[in-house]
């Protein structure tokens, strides 16, 4: 029997069958803070049998044939934290997270369905593929979610709601930590962050071949509202920080930051974003690799944007800062027809950013085109003072 520890809670390991079948392991107690935090202690297993020990009393080993039954049993026991290793094969269902949970896959492990965590419990998903989910594959409402070596694909649009088909969504102040995350072939937004205090950090992020929800696309065409039309979309004062990325062959907008959202991406490429042309229309909508809209801010460092059907970079009443980049082989390199008041083109057209092989390098409407040399540390005579370029300072975890 586990001894009661004052002011502490004890996590348990839920193991499905495999090398550790039939064994019950205890995880060292975790000191309580204002909100329970998971301290993951993985255990090897396969998804056929389960062993559970509850806090304060030993339980006999329990065997389950599915992840769904394992989670429901853990919920019924009101466990403070749970760890599940999923063995090779596919586990189908809509998995609701009701306590701090770790899902760790063995080689060949897959979830066919959704993982929903509206309560904001600590959630870790590692070494798993998540596919064919209806509406939203991974949903986190508050709290922290960690995704390591995860692929989310083929999320299906199943309703007329503009959010249907989203691969990964964080809202309500959720915090995301992603490494080696691939989002591919989904029928809506691949990565969606929304709301004040919602923030995510990602390394080695791949976002490709995602298609816009047709309801969101039609709404955008009719009303010019930007909502759920980016492969990666950051909105409502949410923040995104990405180091090493590939955003490729998506529809409408590759990276869309809007409504006071902020993003800093470094060491990566956004490419081949395609637009949409309605029947009997001469207008193509979208097709922009990177767009900053409605009081948003984007900073790109060590980047490439290429092959966009419309604009490699685009501004609409927002801000953009770039350095050490290449903008090439786009229909238009930089579209800055409607930037935020006070925006200075030298924030994008600096000496460290090369524009080449675009059909048109720059579309600025009636804005004056600056001399790029004016943005250098030693500008030539006649240059006006260069305005400060408000970027998005890199924020550590």
The answer to the question of residue 225 being in a domain is yes
Residue 196 dihedral angles phi and psi, to the nearest 5°: -60, 135
Q: Determine the Cα–Cα distance for residues 334 and 74; give it in Å rounded to an integer.
A: 53
C-alpha 12, offset from chain centre: 30
Joined together, the tokens standing for residue 259 give 């409504």
Beta bridge partners, 125, equal 103, 147
Sign of CA dihedral 188, 207, 270, 259: positive
Contact 153, 133 (CB under 8 A): no
Domain holding 219, by residue range, is: 132-375
Q: Which residues pair with 332 in a beta bridge?
A: 311, 360
Among 13-27, 78-92, 106-120, 323-337, the minimum mean pLDDT is found in 13-27
Residue 124 lies in a domain: no
pLDDT digits (tens, 9 = 90+) for 124-169: 999 999 999 999 999 999 999 999 999 999 999 888 888 889 999 9
CA 245, CA 4: separation in Å to the nearest integer? 47
In 224-302, where does DSSP find H-type helix?
none
Q: What is the pLDDT of residue 293?
A: 93
Mean predicted confidence (pLDDT) in 54-82:
66
State yes or no: pLDDT of 3 exceeds 70.
no
Query: Cβ–Cβ contacts within 10 Å for residue 57, how many?
Result: 8
Q: What are phi and psi of 27, to 5 degrees?
A: -100, 140
Alpha carbon distance 259, 262 (integer Å): 9
CA dihedral (365, 366, 367, 370) positive or negative: positive
Q: Is 320 in contact with 347 (CB distance < 8 Å)?
A: yes
Instruction: Give residue-wise pLDDT tens across range 202-244.
Output: 999 999 999 988 888 888 888 887 888 899 999 999 999 999 9
- E strands, 87-165, are 89-96, 101-105, 109-117, 123-131, 136-141, 144-153
Residue 247 belongs to domain with CATH number: 2.160.20.10
Please state, in angstroms and rounded to a whole number, the distance separating the CA atoms of residues 328 and 115: 39
pLDDT tens-digit map of 287-299: 999 999 999 999 9
For residue 70, give the 3-state DSSP assignment: helix
Pairwise pLDDT comparison (104 vs 40), residue with the higher score: 104
Give the span between the Cα atoms of 278 and 178, in whole angstroms: 36
Tell me if residue 373 falls in helix, strand or coil: helix
- Non-local CB neighbours of 50 within 8 Å, separated by 6+ positions: 14, 15, 16, 61, 62, 63, 64, 69, 70, 73
Token couple for 170: 């964080």
Identify whether 17 is part of a domain.
no
**Per-position DSSP letters for 299-315, written without gaps between them:** EEEEEEEE--SSEEEEE
Asked if pLDDT for residue 11 goes beyond 70, the answer is no
Q: Is residue 389 part of a domain?
A: no
Q: What is the pLDDT of residue 21?
A: 43
Q: Is residue 13 part of a domain?
A: no
pLDDT tens string 271-283: 999 999 888 888 8
* C-alpha pair distances (Å), 242 with each of 2, 111, 181, 208, 291: 43, 26, 11, 16, 16
pLDDT of 267 > 70? The answer is: yes
Which residue from 136, 142, 150, 65 is spatially nearest to 104, judged by alpha carbons? 150
Overall domain count for the chain: 1
Q: Is residue 330 part of a domain?
A: yes
- What is the rounded distance in angstroms from the CA atom of residue 213 to the CA atom of residue 210? 10
**Residues, the chain, total?**
397
In a domain, 281, yes or no: yes
* Average pLDDT in the chain: 82
The torsion region of residue 347 among left (phi > 0), alpha (psi -120 to 50) and beta comes to: alpha
Is 28 part of a structural domain of the chain? no
């Amino acid at each position: 029997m586990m001894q009661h520890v004052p002011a502490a809670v004890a996590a348990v390991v839920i193991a499905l069958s495999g090398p550790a079948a039939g064994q019950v392991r205890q995880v060292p107690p975790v000191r309580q803070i204002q909100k329970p935090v998971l301290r993951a202690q993985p255990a090897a297993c396969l998804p056929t049998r389960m062993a559970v020990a509850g806090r304060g009393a030993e339980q006999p080993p329990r065997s389950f044939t599915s992840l769904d039954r394992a989670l429901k049993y853990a919920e019924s026991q009101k466990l403070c934290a749970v760890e599940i290793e999923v063995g090779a094969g596919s586990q189908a269902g809509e998995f609701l997270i009701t306590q701090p949970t770790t899902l760790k896959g063995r080689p060949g492990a897959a979830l066919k369905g959704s993982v929903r965590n509206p309560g904001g419990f600590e959630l870790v998903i590692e070494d798993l593929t998540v596919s064919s989910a209806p509406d939203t594959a991974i949903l986190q409402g508050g709290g922290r979610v960690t995704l390591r070596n995860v692929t989310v694909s083929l999320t299906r649009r199943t309703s007329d709601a503009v959010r249907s088909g989203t691969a990964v969504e964080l809202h309500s102040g959720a915090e995301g930590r992603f490494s080696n995350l691939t989002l591919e072939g989904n029928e809506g937004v691949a990565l969606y962050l929304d709301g004040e205090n919602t923030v995510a950090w990602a390394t080695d992020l791949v976002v490709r071949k995602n298609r816009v929800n047709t309801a969101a696309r039609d709404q955008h065409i009719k009303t010019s509202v930007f909502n759920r039309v980016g492969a990666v979309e950051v909105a409502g004062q949410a923040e995104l920080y990405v180091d090493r990325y590939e955003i490729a062959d998506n529809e409408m907008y590759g990276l869309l930051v809007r409504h006071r959202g902020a993003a800093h991406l470094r060491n990566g490429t956004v490419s081949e974003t395609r637009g949409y042309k309605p029947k009997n229309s001469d207008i193509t909508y979208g097709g922009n690799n990177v767009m900053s809209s409605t009081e948003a801010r984007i900073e790109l460092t060590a980047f490439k944007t290429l092959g966009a059907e419309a604009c490699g970079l685009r501004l609409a009443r927002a801000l953009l800062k770039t350095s050490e980049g290449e903008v090439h082989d786009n229909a238009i390199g930089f579209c800055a027809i409607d930037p935020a008041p006070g925006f200075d083109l030298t924030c994008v057209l600096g000496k460290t950013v090369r524009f080449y092989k675009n059909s048109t390098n720059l579309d600025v409407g009636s804005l004056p085109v600056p001399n790029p040399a004016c943005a250098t540390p030693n500008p030539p005579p006649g240059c006006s003072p260069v305005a400060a370029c408000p970027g998005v300072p890199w924020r550590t975890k």
